[in-house]
Structure 1
């Protein structure tokens, strides 16, 4: 029996907490972790993954006499992508450790320096930390690092998929490799996630020396039904229609709900309209029920909203971006609502898992689409979810930007490293395993020549430029953060907004569920001063684009060209889908072919290839058009590329296809890729530290992030082409 495997104190703790049974992931994980085996714990939101990891780990520490006065040093390192998640998990872990006398410390920018320094003088127990704070610790406390990490026995990576899907994961991988030199033993690696598309990638990430030695535990969620419906309300002049707002209001007014949106602007607009609808219907009796939650809302406001969701028994809805997609506890919900399609299956699975958290309860998801494209994408993503497909992680390999960052960090941490030793260290680091050694040497030499590094007594240390960068507050994170203004109403911090030429006095901004007029901008202090606005002017907000995975793009095309019926579509949504399918048929869409629509002044290729493949295709075509001497320009949309701006010669579609097949099947070096790129990286450097690098390195990074040439080769070779003439030709 699993319960009997645990230590006496942990058994008593379970009795005190009145647990009646373990969840499936806890049943699976406890015996494996008690054997101190590396493992990946895969289970849905609210399945008890945190306890599945900590119950056996705490039992192992107790059985080894490593509690109370017998506990020496740091034993468990817990890495999380979010400070908010650390704060949330701190309380859960503390409930398990309070009778074991195992110290628990959270380390991030909100924790006082004095508390951190006191613990650092006598490190013990469990440390919860973000990657950025771990980097800071390694760089700024070099004399204490060896003693700090020598006794670590367990390393836990929470929300592992969030690391695998981003540059932060590569950063973490490099940090863990740098820690190896201080460890007296190989720690047990534990990954926690609700959504991993390729477990084998996670296994290699957790323990590259022996990926097959990482146990994959995926017992499946306890049986529950999923109730899902999708509806359609078309936008009115780019704004959300009142009929949609009223439908959402009627659905959520008596429930506890998370309403997910895909942008901060959408969150603010919908929150405002829902509360205005409530006021119109209830008058003075209305109490605010809808609250926004996104990264630009003041942290204190976000934490208050989370606490309200956890504790109140009253109907309440939080309107959120992906800030509530990960495992922050907001209690049990009646319903999850998604406005417009998610950009990934992983995201939909995470959001769906937010409901049905109580044992024996089901999951309820209501999806709304406001544009045809979103309706079709919502169906495609839902069908892939039902097929149990999730985007596989695709870590970058041309990570010269991260190498630049880590060379500076490593030379600071070690207080100087001999050049040959530095090269050996980089070659052994799995993060940089696929970099060409000649390019690594070229980058290192450039850093020495440009004073990012210098050699003193044979050792590489940061030069003047490098020292300045390492000591900046922005050094520890590898992700880009926009310049932000603080938005102030009197002395109250409302939140933040991205600095932009569009932010000016007289403009209005939606923030915190209210509309504000900008009265003054203090550029020097980074402050925007506002007053409540009532003029009804459409508020300012900035939103970015979205990337589409090739598998999702292909599924979207299959929805357009198929005849399947989907029982989760409302009659209104089903009718709109049928209209979309009829229009697609008129445009020549049919299963298994790629359509080129050829007119007198424009040629449109409906690729449905995915964002990165399409970017590569567009770049190749720009180079080819330049060589052809045609005055045509390229315009991209999510699923098509249009050549326009001049006369389209007859038979041009066939010529274009011949070019693509020829260049992508017979040529390994694509001169057209070089010809089709702008003089500078489009939209600026492709990553945070790429901006510091020579242009050739910036190009290699940009190409990998923005363009999938090899994927395009595969796509082109698989296509059957169909040219359709329009405009009477």
Structure 2
């Protein structure tokens, strides 16, 4: 029996907490972790993954505590979010408060004195973000060897958030660097609700022997899903009032998360729902809708999270993906999604926020305001029902991370012999697929440009490298836009992106309220505001969303299919039939891709996915340039349009012939160069890519933006039809 495997103190804690039984993931994980085996715990939100990892670890640590030589840091817990660390700290503390096992969370809210005290006598469990770990390695070089020597367990929470991101590359590199100091191979434990390719996660957790990582994914058939999708067409840029009133009627008596795809949409929806509540609920209406996104002051976000945890009254938080991960906000009655998610993983995370109580179903209401969003919502939902999730695609041409980690490594080690440096970085699995000659070229360039310096054969940070290392921006590898702090008196309301459009006299919506800008102090990065009677969405720039080829293909199948979907409301069902009739009129049909020739435009409806389409559009531009045609190429998420002059009949056929020929012969490189600008556009593709020579920037950009190999296979598999 699993319960009997745990230590007496942990058994007593479970009795005291009045647990009736373990969840499936806990039943599966506890015996495996007690045997000190690497594992990936895959289970839905609120399935008890944290306890599944920590119950056996705490049992083992308690047993060690009764023997000699059991001191030191034992558990390194890495999380993508500071808020998640705070949440998990409370959960682990409840489990360990009767044990003599210290627990420390490490981020900017924790006092320096507490951190220094712990560094002088490290022990127990450390919860930390990748950025803080990077800082620790660089700034505590004398303490690092002893600090990590006794680590026995490494836990990566929300592993899916790392697998495909630059932060994941950083984490993988950091973990490899830490192994130098550890007396033994630590037990690697990954936690996630949404991983589409477990083998990639296994390799991430244990690069040398990925098969040793056990994948624990017990079925939990207790949760039912109730889902419906509705459609309210936009007549303008603003959300239709009928939609607002429908959402209000649905949520006014419930505890809800309402997910949006942008911060501006969150602010508009929050304000208009409260405004509608005041109109329909009368003078006694109490504010029930609160916004939650990364530009709202952290203290306000934490207050909203706490209210959601403790309240028994109806309350709705309107959120971006900031509440998608595992921050505890208690049990919900309902999840609402406004417009389609861009990924299946995101939809699964959001759906998992409801139905947290044992035996209760998950409820999700989806609304679409554009026809494309309706079709995409159906496609993503169908893929979710098919149990498909986007597989992560880690970057390989990570020369920007090589630059970053090389600087960090030589600082951590207080210098490395030049003859050893290249071997050091290439032995790191993060960079194992980089060409040795290019990696060597980059390190040579770093020495030439004073990012590195050579002293008696030892590489140390150069003057430029030292300056970059000591900047606060070095520790994170993701890009953050320049921000203004928005102040109302002494209250920090939140932040907005620095822009020439931020002017005194303008009005904005922020933190669920309307404000007038009275003063902009660009030099200090401050905007002063006072309450206003009206406001508009602030401008937040965002990077383009990636559409996976499988989602794009499913969207095309929805357009060209005849299937009914029982979760569509009558209004949404009728609109889908209209959309399908229009698609049929444009020539759309299963297994065929359409090129629509007009007198002055040619549209290729590709539905290929973001990166493949980007490669396709670049080839088309190169083809036009070779023929000395000045036509323009424009892209939408699912089509490429050529316009700007008379389009001769037969152009579509010539284009398809060109694409098939150049991709089969693998002769696309010439057209790729012709189809893109000769110099960068001033917007670096990655944070540290902008420091590198141009040809390295090109290598990084090519991998991030374009999928040539995927395009090559896709183009050859398609049947093409020109219509005019």
TM-score by length of 2: 0.99
Q: Is 1:44 aligned with 2:48?
A: no
Which residue of structure 1 aligns with residue 10 of structure 2? Answer: 10
Unaligned runs of 5+ residues in structure 2 are none
State the alpha-carbon separation in 2 of the partners of residues 447 and 545 from structure 1.
31
Task: Determine if contact 1:595/1:607 at 8 Å carries over to the other structure.
Answer: yes
Q: CA deviation at 1:221?
A: 2.2
Q: CA deviation at 1:64?
A: 2.5
Which residue of structure 1 aligns with residue 604 of structure 2? Answer: 605
Q: CA deviation at 1:419?
A: 1.3
Which residue of structure 1 aligns with residue 56 of structure 2? Answer: 56
Q: Spell out the pairing of 1:134-283 with structure 2 (5 A cutoff).
A: 134-283=133-282
Deviation sequence 1:226-250 (CA, Å, 0-9, x none): 0000000011211100000000000
Which residue of structure 2 aligns with residue 582 of structure 1? Answer: 581
Deviation sequence 1:635-658 (CA, Å, 0-9, x none): 000100000001112210000000
Unaligned runs of 5+ residues in structure 1 are none
Deviation sequence 1:539-583 (CA, Å, 0-9, x none): 555454322110000000000000000000000000110010000
State the alpha-carbon separation in 1 of the partners of residues 20 and 345 from structure 2.
31
Please, which moves more after superposition, 323-332 or 5-14?
5-14
Task: Determine if contact 1:292/1:318 at 8 Å carries over to the other structure.
Answer: yes
Deviation sequence 1:404-445 (CA, Å, 0-9, x none): 000000000000001121111111100001100000011001
Which residue of structure 2 aligns with residue 504 of structure 1? Answer: 503
State the alpha-carbon separation in 1 of the partners of residues 472 and 542 from structure 2.
26
Q: What secondary structure, in the 3-state scheme, does the structure 2 residue paired with 1:389 have? A: coil
Which residue of structure 2 aligns with residue 468 of structure 1? Answer: 467
Q: What secondary structure, in the 3-state scheme, does the structure 2 residue paired with 1:382 have? A: helix
State the alpha-carbon separation in 2 of the partners of residues 4 and 537 from structure 1.
59
Q: CA deviation at 1:536?
A: 5.6
Task: Determine if contact 1:71/1:125 at 8 Å carries over to the other structure.
Answer: no
State the alpha-carbon separation in 2 of the partners of residues 558 and 378 from structure 1.
13
**What CA RMSD, in Å, does the superposition of the two structures yield over aligned residues?**
1.1
State the alpha-carbon separation in 2 of the partners of residues 97 and 185 from structure 1.
24
State the alpha-carbon separation in 1 of the partners of residues 690 and 507 from structure 2.
33
Q: CA deviation at 1:65?
A: 3.0
Which residue of structure 2 aligns with residue 23 of structure 1? Answer: 23
Task: Determine if contact 1:71/1:102 at 8 Å carries over to the other structure.
Answer: no
Which residue of structure 2 aligns with residue 530 of structure 1? Answer: 529
Deviation sequence 1:501-540 (CA, Å, 0-9, x none): 2211222211001121211100111001112222466655
Change (3 A) 1:211 1:543: closer
Which residue of structure 2 aligns with residue 377 of structure 1? Answer: 376
Task: Determine if contact 2:615/2:711 at 8 Å carries over to the other structure.
Answer: yes
Change (3 A) 1:369 1:398: same
State the alpha-carbon separation in 2 of the partners of residues 191 and 275 from structure 1.
40
Deviation sequence 1:370-419 (CA, Å, 0-9, x none): 00000000000000000000000100000000000000000000000011
Q: What secondary structure, in the 3-state scheme, does the structure 1 residue paired with 2:180 have? A: helix
State the alpha-carbon separation in 1 of the partners of residues 164 and 38 from structure 2.
21
Deviation sequence 1:104-132 (CA, Å, 0-9, x none): 00001111111101100000000000000
Q: Spell out the pairing of 1:341-356 with structure 2 (5 A cutoff).
A: 341-356=340-355
Q: What secondary structure, in the 3-state scheme, does the structure 1 residue paired with 2:591 have? A: coil
State the alpha-carbon separation in 1 of the partners of residues 573 and 209 from structure 2.
50
Q: What secondary structure, in the 3-state scheme, does the structure 2 residue paired with 1:285 have? A: coil
Q: CA deviation at 1:680?
A: 2.6
State the alpha-carbon separation in 2 of the partners of residues 14 and 688 from structure 1.
46
Please, which moves more after superposition, 671-680 or 592-601?
671-680
Which residue of structure 1 aligns with residue 691 of structure 2? Answer: 692
Task: Determine if contact 2:507/2:534 at 8 Å carries over to the other structure.
Answer: no
Task: Determine if contact 2:371/2:579 at 8 Å carries over to the other structure.
Answer: yes
Deviation sequence 1:436-489 (CA, Å, 0-9, x none): 000001100110000000001211011000000000000000000111100011
Deviation sequence 1:284-336 (CA, Å, 0-9, x none): 20100000000000000000000000001000000000000000000000000
Task: Determine if contact 2:549/2:607 at 8 Å carries over to the other structure.
Answer: yes
Which residue of structure 2 aligns with residue 655 of structure 1? Answer: 654
Task: Determine if contact 1:230/1:369 at 8 Å carries over to the other structure.
Answer: yes
State the alpha-carbon separation in 1 of the partners of residues 701 and 630 from structure 2.
26
Q: Is 1:706 aligned with 2:697?
A: no
Task: Determine if contact 2:43/2:49 at 8 Å carries over to the other structure.
Answer: yes
State the alpha-carbon separation in 2 of the partners of residues 239 and 683 from structure 1.
32
Paired residues in the alignment total 724
Deviation sequence 1:320-372 (CA, Å, 0-9, x none): 00000000000000000000000000000000000000001000000000000
Q: CA deviation at 1:63?
A: 2.1
Q: What secondary structure, in the 3-state scheme, does the structure 2 residue paired with 1:36 have? A: coil
Change (3 A) 1:538 1:172: closer
Task: Determine if contact 1:520/1:530 at 8 Å carries over to the other structure.
Answer: yes
State the alpha-carbon separation in 2 of the partners of residues 149 and 64 from structure 1.
17
Task: Determine if contact 2:38/2:187 at 8 Å carries over to the other structure.
Answer: yes
Task: Determine if contact 2:612/2:711 at 8 Å carries over to the other structure.
Answer: yes
Change (3 A) 1:601 1:572: same
Task: Determine if contact 2:64/2:70 at 8 Å carries over to the other structure.
Answer: no
Which residue of structure 2 aligns with residue 294 of structure 1? Answer: 293
Deviation sequence 1:19-42 (CA, Å, 0-9, x none): 110000000000000000000000
State the alpha-carbon separation in 2 of the partners of residues 6 and 719 from structure 1.
57
Which residue of structure 2 aligns with residue 571 of structure 1? Answer: 570
